[in-house]
Chains A and B, each alone.
Chain A
Amino acid sequence: MTTPSSSDPKATAFRPQPWRDHRIEVIIGELLRAGVMLSAAIVLLGASIYLWRHGREHADYRVFQGEPFDFRTIQGVLRSVIYGRGRGLIQLGLLVLIATPIARVFFSVIGFWIERDRLYIICTLIVLAVLLFSFIGTGIGL
């Protein structure tokens, strides 16, 4: 690896991006967009069921009650989706959404692997470990 102040003109001229292969980043970006769009589609579907059934009820979020078990764990969300509940579908969409940055970090590991950048493979794996802990270690399940 060279630094930008290096005398090697090739290294600086062909480094418009920190990742030499700009395509990796572009692919990751497109995958993320696809993930978000999938998530938005699931949320929209859930929203239409939810609003159809509950649209005329009174909306009140003044008092915090905490969500029921079905909306707090992956198991519960999947179960309420099977029962065709709108809010279950919305939560499923949100779970897909939360998974997109995790996928981004995962693909970054592969990107740095291709570049044989050991320092950044380690950095990225640390970040991935924290994210997975947040998901698995807090009781929303798997």
Chain B
Amino acid sequence: MTVLEFTLIVAMVSFVAGLLGSLTGLGGGVVLVPLLTILFHVDIRYAIGASLVSVIATSSGAAASYVKEGFSNIRIGMFLEIATTFGALAGAFLATRIPTQALAIIFGAVLLYSAYYSRKVRPPAERELPPDQLATRLRLNGSFPDLDGPRKYNVQNVPTGFSLMFGAGALSGLLGIGSGAVKVLAMDQAMRIPFKVSTTTSNFMIGVTAAASAGVYLSRGYVDPGLSMPVMLGVLAGSLLGSRILIKAETKSLRVVFSVVILVLGLQMLYQGIFGHI
């Protein structure tokens, strides 16, 4: 394959990944690394570097449209970013010391775990929760525009959410993904933040988290310009389109897409990691 062909095909695949990543709150990276390694036989370290860069593009590019809708909660985002950025730094340093097969296996495991948890059904009774003392003191509670006017929410289990976020940051730094899956799950399942708020706030955090590990990746030579270029441009275009659809799309169908895609890719990554094709 020539450089020109490679660039165009990778750009197209990245466009689709960016669209999916944006619709599901995954940030694109989580599908990109498996796609680049499995379909294009790219070394997983280059794939991680390129994906990390694209994750930043997705997050910052979509910020303006998300902010206008009034879903994201900047205090939740900023508070949890303390955990994710420290995690990301730790993860990035760890990534440079771990064999690539281990990276693939961890990647696969993360995907399967995310797929499993995203399918757990939430009882609708959890909508009206009493305010949590710590969340109130940290001023994390907020409201967002719903179909029938603004809807308030009270954040729960702050320490659990915070610890999970350190893990999400570490995975982001280790695997070059936004860890949107883990972030959304931590905020959805542990902290009981409404889906649209957690998705958009997670988008807000993904870029900052990725930037924390990007310095490490760049200085270690994981970010290849020839590969990162089509990935970044493709993902950016796809995610900008996706962020326009999100506001109208149904959360239920989003989750189905979310879980099926990551399940299939998770199995692939595990297989490749275990049998040493990475």
Contact = CB atoms under 8 A, between A and B. Distances in A.
Interface in B198-219: 207-208, 210-216, 218-219
A51 interface: yes
A78 interface: no
Contacts of B213: 134
B143 A15 contact: yes
Contacts, number: 231
Interface stretch (B56-64, B185-193, B259-267): B56-64
Interface residues of A, number: 77
Interface string A90-125: 110011011011101100100100000101100110
B70 A28 contact: no
Contact of B226 (A3, A50, A68, A140): A50
B233 interface: yes
Q: Is the interface of A mostly helix, strand, loop or mixed?
A: helix
B42 A62 contact: yes
A28 to B, nearest CB: 7
B45 A64 contact: yes
B43 A63 contact: yes
B67 interface: yes
Contact of B211 (A25, A58, A131): A131
B214 A134 contact: yes
Interface string B223-238: 1111111101100100
A82 B248 CA distance: 46
B208 A104 contact: yes
Interface of A: 1, 3-5, 12, 15-19, 22, 25-26, 28-30, 32-33, 35-36, 39-40, 43-44, 46-47, 50-51, 54-59, 61-64, 66-68, 71-73, 86-88, 90-91, 94-95, 97-98, 100-102, 104-105, 108, 111, 117, 119-120, 123-124, 126-127, 130-131, 133-140
